[in-house]
Structures are given as C-alpha cells and as structure tokens.
Amino acid sequence: MESVQQVAVFIIALGFLFVAWQTAVWDSHRWQCVVTPFAVAMVPFGVVAVITILVAPLFGFVQVSPAIFLVWSAGGGVLLLSSLVARKLIPASSPHFGPQGRLDLDSVIVLARVTAAFAGVVSIVKMIWLLGNLGALAALADEQTQQEFGGGVAGHIQAFAYPAVAILVARGARMRVLDVLCVALGALGGIVYQVKYTLLMPITAGAILGILSGNIRLSVRIVCYWIAGGIALFMVVYLLGFALLRSDAIVSEDTYLFLGRHVVAYLTAGILSLSEALRAGSQQFLGATGTMTLPFQNLFAVLVGEHVVGLDDAVRFTFQISQDGTRENVFTLFGVLYLYLGACGMMAYTFILGLVAYAILSISRRSRSPWIACAAALLLAFLSFGWFHFFFWLLTPIEVVVVTFTLAALWEVGNALRMWFASLPQPRLHQ
C-alpha cells in the first residue's frame, strides 16, 4: 500500500514539475529573460521534490506528503499573478542587456576585486583576534565562536562580499587567477562562519548574473557542473570544521559517509519538514507571525545598536524526518509563509514579494549598471533556495541588496567624475 502511495506522489511531483517548467518558459518569454522569479522558485522545488521522493526513503527518511504540492501550487499561482500585474504596471521596452551579453561587467571589475579583498581582510583580522582570545585553532569550530565571528561590524561588512563575489563569478570562463583569489577572500567569511547560505548565495547569484549577461550559457551540462560545485562547497565547509576538531577526520571513511547522508538531509529537509508539519495537521503556528517582521526589527536594531534577534532565538519547533531521530526546522519558501501566516497571509506576502522581485528585475534590465543587475541576481538567488527554506525573514537579503545599490551609486559617481575630468580643457604643452 505504501509503495502505491509513493508511486502516486511521484506522478504528482512529475506533473507539478512539468507544469512549473512550461509556465516558467512562458513567463520567461513574456519578460524576455530566461531567469525570472517564478522560474527560479518553482522549477528547482519541482526537481528537488522528485529527487526527494526517490532518494529519501533509501536513507531512512520519511515519505513526502502530497499536500506540499497544494501549498506550492497556491504560492506559485500567486507568484505568477504578481508577474502578470508587474508586467502591466511596468512599461515594456527593450532591455539593455540579455543573452547577447551587452552588460559590461569589466567596467566594475576593479571595484568588485577591491571589495571582495577588503571583506576577506576583515575576516582574517577578526579570525586572528578570536584566535588571540581563544588560544586554539580548534575553538573556531565552536558554535558560539562562529556566532561571534558572524556578528558585529565585521559580520555586517561581509554583506559587501555578496555582490563582489557575484560579479566576479559572473565572468564565467573569463575569470582570471586574480578573480579566483578575490572570490576565495570574499568567501572566507562564509567558510569560517560555517553557515552554508553565506557561501552558496553569492556564488548562485554570480551564476544567475552570468546567465543574464550572456557570460554563462544555460544548459543541462552547466547546471550539473554548478550543482556538483555547490555540493563540493557544502562538504568543504564541514570538512574544515571536522579537521579543526580532529586531525584525521579528512582521511576517515566515516566522515564521508556522514557527509553523504548530510547532503541528502540538507537537500530534502525543507520538503520533508513541511510534509510532516502538514501531516500533523499544522495549519499555522499561532503566535509566531511576528517572526515574519524580523528583518525590519533587526534593521532597526542595527541602526540603534540593539541586539539582533537570530532565527535560533525565534524558531524553536522542529519535526522528526527520519527513523534515526533527525529533526529539522526548515519548511520551504511557501511552507513557512503558510505555517506562520495561514493561507490568506501566505498569498498576500507572496504577491508583494513577487511584485518587488519582478520590479527589481525589470529595473535592472533597463539599467546599464552591472551592480543593479547584481541586486536582481541576489534576490533571485534567495528565491532559488525556496525548496529549502524562507530566507526573507533574515536581515541578510535586505542588507545585501542595499549594499549592492550603494555600490551602484558609488560606480555612477565615479563615472560622473571621470566624465567631468575628461571634459576639462587639457593644458597645452609649449613647443
């Protein structure tokens, strides 16, 4: 009986993926853009859902509830509605960049390199300071130490690394050794902090920006390369932590068996946690709606110097997703909105989020600034991980977009100054 149900859920997942894919193609044609908010949110979720149904039971995880597709169909429908409304509100005009690669990333490459290197130097200084207080390299793997590393002024400076790394990665095959070195410096904060999204988001944004600018061609082979690279980065973060705690961890077979299962757990956690929440009859976590305004509360806290509330402080409920007792508290993009806000709140939030995402995408395609395009790519990157969790209750998405627009303003001021100096009369040399 269970096998019949699993086959039925698998067929539903394939149907969901097919409809999402076809709708994403239609939406992309309307916006003359291969990567849209609907596409990056819905298609990856459909792919991960199919993989979860096939792989999760083999590792002792629970089966997927078909109810998740109802939640995501409703969320996707509202996201598509926001696309239609945004297209009506925003006048149609020819974009300044697209698959032809008319976006000049080289014009901002120096600023991107300097910014990434600066963020890396700040991370190194903060790490040396922590080591001076801790007295042992292994202490960097301590969770409390990691939280301290990611906080304060040094932690917020890491927001500058997001757009800088994305710009460098977006160059694709045109990256130079210096670019790779700057990417490593910009990613250093995420590696030491050991929070995966701080490492994966800017690189994903770089891939999206590369596709938008024409530097990276979108194909199945390229997508497989990026997925393999993402898994490798995921494992590197853990391997470094293990190596700090135990010198022989890197050569231990148990380490890689653990990592393999952990990759599966990370990939399936959002879908399986949402499945268990829906299976348990949870419609809304009462009293938790205030969590949805955390980024705005934390933004005010940063400005006035008060304590920033982390998700670990605000989210304390988990669901068991495996036979060995593995518990998770991630519920996918639309799953979090449904569980916290209810059906009506989910649709209202999704509609506003969709309007913002499509508006920034449209603005970026009508601007010649690579930084504006990078802001859109970063927002799309956060949406692309909707199969895992809802990231917009963090301060990070707001912070990195604001930082990127700040870099865009600095770039425009620099261009204006160069044009002004160029227009000045040049002194004549007397012969």
What tens digit of pLDDT does each residue of 358-388 get?
Answer: 999 988 888 888 999 999 999 999 999 999 9
Check whether 31 has a pLDDT greater than 60: yes
- On whether residue 428 sits in a domain, the answer given is no
Q: What does the alpha-carbon distance between residue 431 and residue 414 come to, in Å, rounded to a whole number?
A: 34
% of the chain beyond a pLDDT of 90: 38
**Helix/strand/coil for 217:** coil
Q: Residues of the chain with pLDDT > 70: what percent?
A: 79
The pLDDT tens digits for 395-405 are: 889 889 999 99
Is residue 279 in some structural domain? yes
Could you tell me the CA-to-CA distances from 323 to 49, 265, 276, 400 in Å, in that order?
20, 12, 13, 39
Label residue 101 by pLDDT band (50, 70, 90).
Answer: very low
295-312: per-residue pLDDT in tens?
777 767 666 666 666 655
| Matching residue, tokens 């506003």 | 352
Using the 8-state DSSP alphabet, how is residue 61 labeled?
A: B
Supply the pLDDT for residue 1.
Answer: 55
State how far the Cα of 409 lies from the Cα of 413, in Å rounded to an integer.
6
Structural domain total, the chain: 1
How is residue 218 annotated by DSSP? -
> 122 in a domain, yes or no?
yes
Closest among 292, 388, 297, 309 to 346, alpha carbons compared: 292
Count the Cβ atoms, other than its own, within 10 Å of residue 180: 12
Higher pLDDT, residue 69 or 290: 69
Secondary structure (3-state) at 248: coil
Q: Take residue 270 and report the two structure tokens written for it.
A: 């959002």
Mean pLDDT calculated for residue range 212-241: 75
CA–CA separation, 379 and 398 (whole Å): 9
The answer as to whether 429 is a domain residue is no
Backbone angles phi, psi at 64, to 5 degrees: -80, 135
What pLDDT is stored for residue 45 in this prediction? 97
Domain annotation covers residue 389: yes
Residue 141 has pLDDT above 60, yes or no: no
pLDDT at 136: 47
141 or 116: which leads in pLDDT: 116
Among the residue ranges 54-58, 70-74, 229-233, 248-252, the one predicted with the least confidence is 248-252
324 close to 262: Cβ distance less than 8 angstroms: no
Q: Is residue 241 part of a domain?
A: yes
- Residue 431: inside a domain: no
Domain range holding 118? 2-423
Residue 361 lies in a domain: yes
- The 10s digit of each residue's pLDDT in 321-354 is 888 888 888 899 999 999 888 899 899 999 999 9
Q: What is the overall mean pLDDT for the chain?
A: 82
On the CB side of 19, how many CA atoms lie within 13 Å of its CA?
12
pLDDT of amino acid 251 = 63
**Between 165 and 130, whose confidence is greater?**
165
Residue 13 near residue 50, CB atoms below 8 Å: yes
Q: What is the pLDDT of residue 422?
A: 75
